[in-house]
Amino acid sequence: MASGRAQSNSWLLVTSSVLFLATLCAATSDYAPSLSENYYEKTCPQAADIIEKYVNKFLKKDSSFAGALTRLQFHDCWVGGCDGSVLLNSTETNSAERDAHVNFGLRGIQEIDEIKAALESACPGVVSCADIIIAAARDATFKAGGPWWSVALGRKDGRESSDLLADGNLPFPVFNFTLLVDNFARKNFCAREMVVLSGAHTIGNTHCNGILPHLYNFTGANSATDIDPAMNKGFAAFLKKHCPQGNRTNTIFINSTPGKFDNVYYKSVLAGKGIFITDSALITDSLGKKIVTSFTKAKSSFFEEFAAGMVKMGNLGVLTGAQGEIRKTCQFVN
């Protein structure tokens, strides 16, 4: 059995490694090899217009839906790369990513299939589901008032999807700052990029499932008064009205301006009004709090850094050429 000193030394080594990685923002090329902005220029020149048309349709129906499309890119790319695997259905012999615990309440899958059907009608077998996710996330962010960035396309769709991989790769809403930094470092993202991409919580809504541990069982006492002490008490009382103890399925806006991409998220976090534990965690560390505070300023670099982070994320684990396939329907392999 390991001694207490040995266990303590091991923890210090892990923590030191995490903090070292937190200070590094690895330099990357703009796009992954084989991707290009004009990839569909000859094979499906109307692809961008079709995707934009449907994103407009979805946002007209629900302005907060931009958050769902942005989240979908993260939940796809963070698990084995940007290969559309988050869209695949479970089968009798396999439980897919979308059914993982961490993907509870994931939205946008049917909408991506709707875009795919329109693209199949216009250009059969050409545009991948993986590329649709990337383009739709960018369009939705921009139309919600956020930054614009060029998207490089040419990804192929993966054939494998696992709920265990999703639960093992995606950060859970109960992660503290150290766990968040470690999770992002595994994908070669530094602490600052983690705080930047957390800003995606400025748009959209969520189910109560991820909020309950913030309100009722923060320390494990399983008490109705066991809330995160970093939370604003008035805000906690407000959340409890919408998310009664044990209710996982009610939905609530993730931010006070759920249909507008802005820096209000960081102002809310700084005021103790982060909706998830992961939001409040950003100001429990001096580095995190410094970054959050900088993004509350009117002329901060949040928009530019968020766009760069989304491009970098879109390069993860890309399949190109003979790898993968172009699915006919996004929820099923060919």
Catalytic residue among 75, 207, 214, 242: 75
- Nearest by Cα to 269 from 312, 227, 231, 215: 231
Query: Measured in whole angstroms, how far is the alpha carbon of residue 139 from the centre of its chain?
Result: 15
Residue 81 marked ligand-binding? yes
Cβ-contact 152, 133 below 8 angstroms? no
Tell me if 304 is assigned to a ligand binding site. no
Annotated binding residue 171: yes
**For residues 261 and 65, is the Cβ–Cβ distance under 8 A?**
no
Asked if 128 contacts 333 with a C-beta cutoff of 8 angstroms, the reply is no
Q: Which two tokens stand for residue 282?
A: 């950003």
83 assigned ligand-binding residue: yes
Q: Is 244 annotated as a binding residue?
A: no
Mark residue 34 as left, alpha or beta (left: phi above 0; alpha: psi -120 to 50; beta: remaining).
Answer: left
Beta bridge partners of 206: 252
Q: At residue 10, what is the residue type?
A: S
Residue 49 is labelled as binding a ligand? no
Say if residue 97 carries a ligand binding annotation.
yes
Examine the residue annotation and report whether 75 is marked as an active-site residue of this protein.
Answer: yes
Task: Tell me if 173 is assigned to a ligand binding site.
Answer: no
Report the half-sphere exposure of 211 (CA within 13 A, side-chain side): 29
Which 3 state secondary structure label does DSSP give 314?
A: coil
Whole-angstrom Cα distance, residue 233 to residue 251? Answer: 20
Ligand-binding annotation for 284, yes or no, is no
Token pair for 193: 């990029």
Q: Which residues are annotated as a binding site?
A: 76, 79, 81, 83, 85, 97, 171, 201-202, 257, 262
Active site amino acids = 75
Q: Which residues are annotated as a binding site for Ca(2+)?
A: 76, 79, 81, 83, 85, 97, 202, 257, 262
